[in-house]
Structure 1
Amino acid sequence: MTFPHVLIDGLVLADPMGGALRYAIETWPRCAELLHARGGQLTALVAQKEREKDWVRGLAAHGALHLDFIEAPMRPAWKRALNETSAVQNWMERSEACGNPVHLLQTQSLPAPNPRFPGQRVHLSHGLRRQLEGPWWSRRLAEFALRQCARRTDALIAVSETLARDLASRFARVPIRVAPPACDSLPALPREPGDHVLCPGPLVPHKNHALLIEAWGQDPALPPLHLHARQDRHARPLIERIDALGLAQRILWREPLTGETWPEALATCAAVVLPSRLESFGLVALEALHAGAPLALSDLPAHREVIGLAQSAVRFFPPTNPLACANAIHQAVAMTDPACQALRQKRAQDFSWEQTAERTVEHWSTLVGPAL
């Protein structure tokens, strides 16, 4: 009797680095080691086009983790879903023919692949952004895809208690487990704060960068703002607004941050500001805590969950109020007390990637148990 063979469908994962990709990089090897120690196996399917990327090379170095590569288009979503289903189905059939059947399939993309499969299915949910943001027709399609996935799955894994509650309100009969991200693999450098405020991340609408521009427009006393983001199609209206308010000397564009540059950016900023309208966890907030950086962030349930008992050491603001945002930033920048920094870093220690992996494998084992 051995523990199961788990197959993770990671075909949707790709550079640039985001929360879902970082989660995979940190958890897959740890989960593989835990399964291997119990006589099980973890295989992850990755898109062929990512094969030579650094993140894949790093994962391939872990002996307990098996990677396989599949040629499958990722766009548009409906074509990806059809090809993904066929690709996963064919892979599982080949594996079974070789005497290595899959006992549990974990998906994370929507629409979720739907291969013919007698084993257990788990869906890892990183959030409900597509169900809550965008045109009505897009939200409706995303909601339909999520409901179809929930109908076919045996359990859902959510990255936060906040997200788990949102999912439970939709799917009362589906078991929902939580396996939150962590930050303990990120180096925490000694703080040498400069005079600027840092805002990292993509310029997607729900990240709410427009609020920051209005805050800087209303408060000339705010320190310089560094926006570390790729200037894609979402940047044009922001740039136009910055120019209209005469803020080009105070709001500065910087290169997107990488795993190598992120620790130094956290160590050298006066504060981090996160104005999102929607978050399912708040990994950047957690990493700012880990670095000890002062933090001003939107008052969202997910942010409150991440900050936990360190709420007195950060500042919250409504994500619709530029002036409140400006005031929170001023207060955060002034929070240089070592006791506040220690409280922020202490809270970050409540999370670990090892714990995330242990929870995940525990959830898998609850569904499958030892496999004959």
Structure 2
Amino acid sequence: MEVALMSASRVLINGLALAQPMGGVRRHATEIFPRAAAILKAGGGSLSMLTPRSGLGFRLPGVELIRSNIGSSRVQRILRQKQALEEAIQGLGPIDLVHGGHLPSAGPKDLPMVHLQHDVRRQSSLLGRSWLKQAIQNAQAVITVSQATADEMARLATPRQLHVIHHGGDHLQRVKRSTPSKPFVLVPGHLEPRKNPLTAVRALAEDPSLPTMLFVGAVRGSMAQRMQTEAARLGVLDRVRYTGPIPDQELAELYATCSAVLLTSRLEGFGLPVLEALHAGARLAVSDIPAHIEIAPAEVPRFTPGSHQDCATALSQALDQAPVMGQVRTWDDAAKSLVGVWNSV
């Protein structure tokens, strides 16, 4: 698909909140922004990003990175981001629009803004809802990564333009499937409450025939300790393993060798591991939440979030059936859609 560069050929991204461990937000940034930069460059434009003082901690080829003097403190970012953006724009020269993806949003009043909302999990407070409503009202266009998130946002305000751009799912190398010597269920994602990993641990106790579960992702707070305590209480400690964050090649190999992939989240803006599992041809069981329903084929076994009994049943069904094949969108297509939104403003 060709993208006509009629406008917004010089874009500045507010990346002050992007220095974080690998997850959906960082994956989105690493995959879509370099591709968008290449599209803009082909039309004579450019893509720049304002970063924290310490940088991002990962590469974005083709994107000009501008380090601010703002540290990692959220309070510092909130208080100083508008001034930092204005200073960056003065240094860059003419800019067509500012693209942001965190709250509260900020940008010069004389420039169009595009706001990207990954999910609404932090908008349960009055302040969070106020920030999101303000971002929607101030933006010339709003992008969400799923219709589920778009529907949640619509309860607060009506954007001038609303675009749903699904993630790509082709970032991991497709590895030939093989059977490991010891079967295991892959549970990808940060260890945090909204990912609901305790349900997976309890499912092991519900069904002793289920394979060992391998949890892959960064630890948030005390969740790892809580999981270990629960696993010990239930007598399944020897069937629970952790790796922490791992390189993409290792993750691709785990998708290719696992008995199944299990996703237990209570809330997701998108649910990228669904696409990763489909891309790898892995068996899959998912919690029955809007984001998973939106992108997982109907044949994928589902279960009530938080119900370890339902989880065990769905996982057992997934293990007994052939892998479900689904169409996975590419990041190239996602980047073209993003540039298309920028051009529409």
TM-score, normalised via structure 2 length: 0.92
Counterpart code for 1:311: A
Does the residue aligned with 2:72 lie in a helix, a strand or coil? Answer: coil
Counterpart code for 1:103: D
Residues 147-180 of structure 1: per-residue CA shift (max 9 Å, x gap): 2222222221111122122222321243211111
1:275 to 251, 264, 282: 264
Does the residue aligned with 1:181 lie in a helix, a strand or coil? Answer: coil
Whole-angstrom CA distance in 2 between matches of 1:278 and 1:180: 16
Query: Are positions 1:111 and 2:111 aligned together?
Result: no
Query: Are positions 1:208 and 2:213 aligned together?
Result: no
Whole-angstrom CA distance in 1 between matches of 2:12 and 2:330: 23
In structure 2, the partner of 1:23 is 28
Q: Does the aligned pair in 1 maintain the 2:13–2:49 contact within 8 Å?
A: yes
Whole-angstrom CA distance in 2 between matches of 1:276 and 1:31: 30
In structure 2, the partner of 1:365 is 343
Whole-angstrom CA distance in 1 between matches of 2:54 and 2:33: 19
**Which residues of 2 match residues 50-199 of structure 1 at below 5 A?**
50=55, 53=57, 55-56=58-59, 59-60=60-61, 62=62, 65-75=63-73, 77-95=74-92, 100-113=93-106, 115-132=107-124, 139-194=125-180, 195-199=183-187
Does the residue aligned with 2:50 lie in a helix, a strand or coil? Answer: strand
Query: Are positions 1:266 and 2:252 aligned together?
Result: no
Whole-angstrom CA distance in 2 between matches of 1:129 and 1:325: 23
Whole-angstrom CA distance in 2 between matches of 1:116 and 1:290: 41
Does the residue aligned with 2:249 lie in a helix, a strand or coil? Answer: coil
In structure 2, the partner of 1:220 is 208
Whole-angstrom CA distance in 2 between matches of 1:280 and 1:109: 14
In structure 1, the partner of 2:298 is 311
Counterpart code for 1:265: L
Whole-angstrom CA distance in 1 between matches of 2:335 and 2:72: 27
In structure 2, the partner of 1:38 is 43
Residues 104-151 of structure 1: per-residue CA shift (max 9 Å, x gap): 0011111222x433120111111111124xxxxxx2221122122222
Whole-angstrom CA distance in 1 between matches of 2:230 and 2:330: 40
Counterpart code for 1:211: T
Shift of 1:28: 1.1
Counterpart code for 1:48: R
Change (3 A) 1:364 1:124: same
Does the residue aligned with 2:27 lie in a helix, a strand or coil? Answer: helix
Whole-angstrom CA distance in 1 between matches of 2:6 and 2:167: 28
1:243 to 232, 244, 263: 232
Residues 227-261 of structure 1: per-residue CA shift (max 9 Å, x gap): 22344422222221111112111122233233231
Query: Are positions 1:354 and 2:332 aligned together?
Result: yes
Shift of 1:297: 0.6
Does the residue aligned with 1:319 lie in a helix, a strand or coil? Answer: coil
Shift of 1:33: 1.7
Q: Does the aligned pair in 2 maintain the 1:3–1:38 contact within 8 Å?
A: no
- Structure holding more helix per residue: 1
Does the residue aligned with 1:311 lie in a helix, a strand or coil? Answer: coil
Whole-angstrom CA distance in 1 between matches of 2:341 and 2:288: 31
Query: Are positions 1:323 and 2:309 aligned together?
Result: yes
Whole-angstrom CA distance in 2 between matches of 1:184 and 1:199: 19
Does the residue aligned with 1:124 lie in a helix, a strand or coil? Answer: strand
Whole-angstrom CA distance in 1 between matches of 2:14 and 2:24: 16
Counterpart code for 2:186: L
Change (3 A) 1:8 1:29: same
Gaps of 5+ in 1: 133-138, 368-372
Counterpart code for 1:197: V
Does the residue aligned with 1:130 lie in a helix, a strand or coil? Answer: coil
Q: Does the aligned pair in 2 maintain the 1:78–1:111 contact within 8 Å?
A: no
Shift of 1:201: 1.4
Does the residue aligned with 1:131 lie in a helix, a strand or coil? Answer: coil
Does the residue aligned with 1:102 lie in a helix, a strand or coil? Answer: coil
Whole-angstrom CA distance in 2 between matches of 1:354 and 1:173: 26
Residues 298-348 of structure 1: per-residue CA shift (max 9 Å, x gap): 0111111111xx322x2111113211110111111122x3xxx4x52x422
Shift of 1:2: 6.9
